[in-house]
Each structure stands twice: as structure tokens, then as C-alpha cells.
Structure 1
Amino acid sequence: MPEPAILKLYAPFGKNPQHPLFIYFPGMDGSGELFGLQSAELKSHFDIRCLVIPGNDMSSWEGLAHQAVQLIRQEARTAPIYLCGESFGACLALRTIALAPALASHLILINSASAFHRFPWMQWVASITPWVAPPLYQSSTLTSLPVLANLSRIGEVNRQALMRAMAAVTQASTAWRLSLLSQFRLEPLRLHRVTAQTLLVASLGDRLLPSLEEAQRLATLLPNSRIYPLPHSGHVSLLEDGVNLGAIMKAVGFLPQVAIAKEPTAEKIEREPIAS
């Protein structure tokens, strides 16, 4: 097995130290590049960093979480820290915050993949991925798109970006990250110790995982949590037209206080949050 690679944080818009630190943990692509649309909206409120997990990384959950905690502490100042994870990244965010329960003031989990292990067919996919012939693996990434995303809600530019990100993930990396999801369990994490205000964003149209059900489960484990449902969204919700994470955060009082803030339009907020 290769040696674990070194994770890094990059600042997509340069450093902005007068604002709270916002750390984004990406999904299976591990790059953070698909967060570009949302980070452009958030940059006026936050000093943004995206975690990059190298494609050759074979770290355990524990190894990933330890690296993430160290990186965040190196960047941390006196300002609040917002930790945001999407899908696979939500699982890593949970492992990270479990390792350092007071690390972040706010935790945002988007369509957490923490239910992966409860579905036998997904376990089967994880087990066979290392052995699939490369041409078949490459074609399967394209055929899985309608399950992964609600393509009717994603514009052409973002759709192409999603396809590029999926194609860039090697078969070995996909197999390893799927194996991590198969191993992931919430029970040992002792999430009752987490002090962060937590926002659980869940897509009701998720064809890949039962995101709302999992958000409801997480809400019973995380003390200071609330659920924000996206009624029509698929699993890859942050690429969809009309889904604006900044507007969602404003609606639930998660944005830092600013002198003057423009009210988000009704089209950008799909539904009032459900308090858990």
C-alpha cells in the first residue's frame, strides 16, 4: 500500500484574514474544485479554504482526520471556524470534529454519506470496484451520473465540471474511498461532545442515499443541530441552479454579522428550515 499522501488547504481567492475561516471538505473527487460556484458567493463573508486530498492518498479515516485537525489549527486565528463537508467530505468532517469537538464554532454537513454502509448493494459496488476492467469503470462513471445528480437542475457549465471531476478520480482512489465509506460508523464518534452549531442540509430528491433520513439521524446525535431540506435536489446539490449555500446560511442565521447584507431572493431559498 502506498504511503499516505499529505493533505493541504488552498485558498481559492487568496487569504482574507479579517473574516472567519471557512473550511470546505470535498466529496469523492477530493479536490474542492466543484465548490467554486458556492465559494464565489461566500468570499465576501469568509476566509475560504478547500481541503485537497491527493488522488494517491490511502490514509485511514483516523489519519485523514488527524491531518485535517493539524491543518486547520495551523490556519486558525481568534476568528470563528466554520467546517463544511459534503457527502464523503461530511463523513471526514464528522471524524475531524469528533477528534477535536471544540475545533469549530459552526458545522455544516451536506448530504452526508454516513449511511453508505447500511446498503448492501453499495457495499457490493465498493468490493468489486478494484477489480473492474478500466474501460468498464470509465463508462460506469458516466452511467452513474443520473443517480448522483439531478441533471435537469444543473447547467451545462457545472455539468461539464462534474464530469471532469469524476473522470479525474482514479479507479484505485475511488475504490479506496468507497472502502472507507463502507467502514464508516457514527456510533464510536461520541458526537454528543460536539459544541458547534450544526446545519444539516439534506436533498429530498437524492437518488443515491437517503439524505433526509440520515440528517434526521444525525440531528439526534449532534446537540445543537437543525435540518434544512432541499425539496427537489439530488445528491450533488451545490452544483444546481438556485441552490445558494450563502442564502441558506443567511436564512438560518449562520452568516457572520455584517453591517449591510442584501436579502437573498426567494428563488435562492427553497424552503424554510426544519428545526430538529
Structure 2
Amino acid sequence: MPLLVNPLSSPLAGSLKPSRPLFVYLPGMDGTGALFRPQISGLKASFDIRCLSIPSDDLAGWETLVAQTARLIANEQRQVKSRPTYICGESFGGCLALQLAASYPSLCQHLILVNPATSAVHQPWVSWGASITQRLPPTLYRLSTFGLLPLLIQPQRVSLSNRQALLQAMQSVSPRSAAWRISLLTKFTLETLPLGRIKQPVQLLASGADRLLPSLDEAGRLVRHLPNARTVQLPDSGHACLLESEVNLGKLLKSTEFDPSSRALPLSLSHRY
């Protein structure tokens, strides 16, 4: 079963900061939440941060993942009532975040989507990726993660330590579970969600140098479906943009009035950094 852990302390301890909004990060395909660590320092002054952690051998479907994650967030909210909740979903986690917001619209007051994998169903690699991945023996599977790096990041923008963390996170997932999560993306169809229920503000981060998915084009499609959505374009960033040294999510949220401590600033429908 997934867990919500506090990345600033022991995974089991979790230090409550009741005066701050709850910030819940939903990770990509790795499911670890560990890859969000580079962004913690820029957010911890404004938020009480939690990360979803999905077991490396988990084979839950979307319905189960959505229900379990909703229950975890609701449990956190019961501990400290009447504070806003921000849900931030990256890639695979972006699909999960949209389903959460559509199924449980009162669960969060602000939604952040970072290169969500909502277009994966239309990409040829997704259908055969699941089939190939589940047939790979563990050794070959670990080697295959090295080949994925150029698709996931712009290497010159990601430190060596963060590149190593990305590899470790990918290799921590079993081949069977990785194949299953890819197959879930083939079952995600944006148009079948009750998107009209998502009325809260939505902040989209879209990478212009994403080699894995057409994130800029997809951001445009999402904005058409989500009336309160705005886009921040990251023209030089890769798919895993939150690992990049020059990307500071905390500063981006402040510049777009998404950070609760930010001052009122002029805001256009699309920002470029």
C-alpha cells in the first residue's frame, strides 16, 4: 500500500507544521518520491511537505491508487484541519493527480502538474514498452535504465549526484511493476475524466526540450480542458525538470502567485523561464 512520508525527517516520524499548507508530491514512474529532494529547500519555508511512496513491486490499478492516495491525504488533513492542500503530480504522478482532483474535488485547493504523462497513450513507445520491459531479466532491465537517461534529462542541466539518484530510483522498481505502470498509461484517457469538477487553480510546468513526451503541446491541450489552468514554459528543460539545478519550483510558484506567501504579482496566462 502507498505511504505518505515527510521527506524532511524519518519516513515514519513526520513533523507537522500546522501553520503551513499541506504540499503532497505524487512521483513519476519510479514511485519513490526520492527525486523530489532537490526541490525541498525552496519549498519548506512555505509548505508542510509530504511525498507519496509506492512500493517497488506494486501492481495496483488506477482506481486503487486513487482511492488509497485519497485516503492517505484525508488522514493528513484530519490531523490539522482548515488548511489548504496543494497536490503536485509529476509525469505518471500527474495522471494520478488529475484523477484525484476529478474524483475528489474537495481534496485539494491547488493543483500542480509537472510534465504530466497524459499524452502517453498516444505515443507508440508506450504500447510496446510495457511488453518489452516485463520480459527483461533484472540485469538487462538495470542496464536499460542507462539508455533512458537521455530521454528523461538534459544531462548538462542535472548534477552528477542527481543523475545517480535518478538511476537508483528507476532501478529500484521491479521490471514487472515498471511494465505494469507503463500499461496504466495506456489506459489513461484524459477525455473520460469528469474534468468539469476540477475548478481549483491549476499550475502547469511544461518542458520545451522534453524528449520523452510532447509536454508543451500537451500543456496547451490541458489548458483547453481546465479553465483555471496556467502554464509555465521551461524551454531548455528535459522531462525530469525538477532534477535540474536551474529549476526552483518554490521560486516558480511565488512568481505565479501559487505560493501562499507570495505577493500579488501581475500574471499572464503563460510564463517562460
Among 114, 118, 122, the alignment partner of 1:114 is 118
Q: CA deviation at 1:102?
A: 2.4
Look up the match of 1:130: 134
Q: CA deviation at 1:135?
A: 2.8
Q: CA deviation at 1:254?
A: 0.4
More off after superposition, 121-130 vs 45-54? 121-130
More off after superposition, 60-69 vs 12-21? 12-21
Q: CA deviation at 1:166?
A: 1.4
Q: CA deviation at 1:80?
A: 0.6
Correspondence 1:33 to 2:37:
no
**1:31-180 alignment, distance < 5 Å:** 31-76=32-77, 77-180=81-184
Letter of the 2:131 counterpart: S
Correspondence 1:12 to 2:13:
no
Q: CA deviation at 1:35?
A: 0.4
- Separation of aligned partners in 1, 2:57 and 2:159: 30
Look up the match of 1:185: 189
- State the Cα deviation string for residues 124-180 of structure 1 (Å, max 9, x = none): 112221112333222111111111111110011111111111121111110110111
**Alignment check: 8 A CA contact 2:90 2:114 kept:** yes
Q: Secondary structure at the match of 1:64?
A: helix
Q: Which runs of 5+ in 2 are unaligned?
A: 9-14
**Alignment check: 8 A CA contact 1:126 1:182 kept:** no
- The change in CA–CA distance for 1:190 and 1:116 in structure 2 (over 3 A counts) is same
- State the Cα deviation string for residues 202-232 of structure 1 (Å, max 9, x = none): 0000000000111111111112100100010
Letter of the 1:185 counterpart: T
Correspondence 1:274 to 2:270:
yes
Q: CA deviation at 1:123?
A: 1.1
Q: CA deviation at 1:95?
A: 1.0
Letter of the 2:270 counterpart: I
What TM-score, normalized to structure 1?
0.90
Q: Which runs of 5+ in 1 are unaligned?
A: 1-5, 261-271
The share of aligned pairs that are identical, in percent, is 48
What TM-score, normalized to structure 2?
0.91
Look up the match of 1:249: 253
- Separation of aligned partners in 2, 1:144 and 1:10: 27
**Alignment check: 8 A CA contact 1:20 1:46 kept:** yes
- Separation of aligned partners in 2, 1:217 and 1:133: 38
Letter of the 2:50 counterpart: R
- State the Cα deviation string for residues 223-273 of structure 1 (Å, max 9, x = none): 210010001000000000110000110110001136x9xxxxxxxxxxx86
Look up the match of 2:12: none
